[in-house]
Amino acid sequence: MRGHVSILAPLGRTRRARGTCVAALRGVRSAILLPSLLATTTLAACNIGALGDSQIYQDKSPGTVTFRLLLPADQSFCDQLPTCSFGLQHLTFSTVSGDALDTGGRWCTMICSDQCLPLQCPPIACPVGGGAALADTSQSWTGAYYEPGTCGSQKLSCDHTRFVLPGRYRAHFCATPGTLSQGDAGPPTCTPSGPPRCADVVFDLPGPPTVDVALPAS
């Protein structure tokens, strides 16, 4: 099973029931989630490319910025989560020139290292799908993102945690307006009331410790 473990601190959302579906969660990738310690791994055996050019990216955080994600007060927002989903990613990042930064990890893919060893992926119970309300919240980013590479003589695919250089970047926040309804049984359902609404903000890292990203009112 494929999925994402976000580098960002998780969005607040409603608690959902857990089902019997089983997924393999990437080993110890939660170390990237704030406020846990950021993990780095060895570059020696990995073939790591730059994002669109020859720019070199660093192996330590340039700083931390907290984004306040603000929703219009005149409308409700929600997510309809599929079974075995651990949440949707509402906040993404890119360079100002448009190169996307992958801030969502992958379940049970190999970490770039000298040893180039496959991960032992323990089975875990997946949440049952259903609707979840979305409200104003905040998320922090340390400039970390995932970059694909290869390791070993067979050039196996792997991921490495990298950090952007100090500079200017773009945050992109999207949410879908909708309402929650509860049936006679099972989890609630999110019914969209319109297309996703999005907002962008350009920010410096390091820079102001808090940045507001507000969706426009309807």
Q: What pLDDT is recorded for position 193?
A: 93
Residue extents of the structural domains in the chain: 18-214
Torsion angle (degrees, nearest 10) of CA 179, 183, 187, 191: -30
Please tell me the predicted confidence (pLDDT) of residue 95.
94
pLDDT number for residue 105: 63
pLDDT at 209: 94
Q: What is the pLDDT of residue 7?
A: 56
Torsion over CA: 206, 207, 209, 212 (sign) = negative
Give the pLDDT score at 13. Answer: 39
Q: What is the pTM of this model?
A: 0.71
Two tokens, residue 60: 């330590």
Q: How far apart are CA 161 and CA 57, in angstroms?
A: 11
Residues of the chain with pLDDT under 70: 1-56, 85-86, 105-107
